Amino acid sequence: MAIINAFGNIDLYVFLLSWFLVSAVCVWGRPATFLQDFQISWSESHIKQIDQGRAIQLILDQNSGCGFASKSKYMFGRVSMKIKLVPGDSAGTVTAFYMNSDTDTVRDELDFEFLGNRSGQPYTVQTNIYAHGKGDREQRVNLWFDPSADFHTYTIMWNHHHIVFYVDDFPIRVYKNNEAKGIAYPKMQAMGVYSTLWEADNWATRGGLEKIDWSKAPFYAYYKDFDIEGCPSPGPANCASNQSNWWEGATYQALNAMEARRYRWVRLNHMIYDYCQDKPRYTVIPPECLAGI
């Protein structure tokens, strides 16, 4: 009652409270319907909107896979989606969620690729990073839960300090900005947000040994809670360099203590491949592998 009296009437109080809540949402999150930020880029007949566009279904069959892309490109920020992956025997399928500059020779790209498997075997998530046209930085982690049983949040955080891939609240990959040591870091090109569901049984599961069982088709993956927070391109010229953007704040410049513990736990218990440890492939350890997190 004291608060209401201070403002003079309850209508003003309700208005100010509503304004505060809306402002908080605008700063900290902006889950959107599919068509607000995205468009179908491949095989419209294989993407279906659900719940008035708040969720979508991707379909893979023997005729086609499918894909979608953001309407804009972005410089820095955070991109996240909730995904429920292909259930059952998903061997040979790949569900991908990634950012890409869509430039050929100097491509920048940040990849989540979910590699299907035979029923009962763990799903593998492969991450990769392209910086200034150089990729081949694959890491693979076996997920510690069934990602087809429910939605889980997959996030790419990208700022001037580092790139972090998250599965729910667990960081599974960190790539620091070590330009001072001569290591390429993506910061000059805006990137679009993409996702695809496609057939890749020549490499996806056990190096291509496990093929798609088309008798199990069609295969379905589901997406919801599309959230992009970053500097759109084209957009304000000073946005990407603005250190006041929330994703550039001190909280997001390095992993906190809990995140660092979770990161070590993932790498110790669930990592199955790290290009940094692949001595037959790299007789000289790539310089970013020596830089640590």
pLDDT in tens, the chain (293 residues): 443 344 445 454 444 444 444 333 333 345 567 888 999 999 999 999 998 889 999 999 999 999 999 999 999 999 999 999 999 999 999 999 999 999 888 999 999 999 999 988 999 999 999 999 999 999 999 999 999 999 999 999 999 999 999 999 999 999 999 999 999 999 999 999 999 999 988 888 888 888 999 999 999 999 999 999 999 998 998 999 999 999 999 999 999 999 999 999 999 999 999 999 999 999 999 999 987 66
Q: Annotated catalytic residue: which of 44, 109, 199, 229?
A: 109
Domains of the chain: which residue ranges? 33-288
Distance CA 242, CA 230 (A): 11
Q: Annotated catalytic residue: which of 44, 113, 179, 288?
A: 113
Q: What is the C-alpha R_g of the chain?
A: 21
Instruction: Give which of 221, 227, 229, 193 is closest to 33, Cα–Cα.
Output: 227
Residue 281's CB is within 10 A of a number of other CB atoms, namely: 10
- The pTM score is 0.88
Q: Is 109 a catalytic residue?
A: yes
Instruction: Give which of 129, 124, 108 is closest to 289, Cα–Cα.
Output: 129
- CA separation, residue 22 to residues 16, 37, 79 (Å): 10, 19, 20
pLDDT score for 10 = 46
Q: Is 199 a catalytic residue?
A: no
Distance CA 129, CA 108 (A): 8
Q: Is CATH 3.40.50.300 the classification given to domain 33-288?
A: no
CB-based contact 231:77 (threshold 8 Å): yes
